[in-house]
Amino acid sequence: MPAFKITYHHDGQVVFEETVFMKTLKTAKKSADCQSPQAVIEISIADLMDRELAERKQGQWADKKNAD
């Protein structure tokens, strides 16, 4: 099962960072939405090699080109 590094940001500062094990990027996004602290503006999801796979800004998810 793949691991995803989820980073929560507010005003350019990292609020919280966690690593989760999920089957797909889609389920990692759902988990990040549910677990995000209230003050979070932006969420980024990367793999364990720090390649950014997706980010959420202003409530909209955007997948990166290198995401599988």
Q: What is the pLDDT along the chain (68 residues), one digit of tens a residue?
A: 899 999 999 988 999 999 999 999 999 999 999 988 887 889 999 999 999 999 999 889 999 876 55
**Confidence at residue 67, expressed as pLDDT on a 0 to 100 scale:** 52
Q: Which residues pair with 20 in a beta bridge?
A: 4
Residue 26 tokens, joined: 């889609």
Side-chain half-sphere exposure of 33, counting CA atoms within 13 A: 13
Dihedral angle sign, alpha carbons of residues 54, 33, 42, 6? negative
Dihedral (Cα; 57, 63, 64, 67), 10-degree rounding: 140
Alpha-carbon 32 to chain mean position: 6
**Confidence at residue 56, expressed as pLDDT on a 0 to 100 scale:** 94
**Confidence at residue 28, expressed as pLDDT on a 0 to 100 scale:** 95
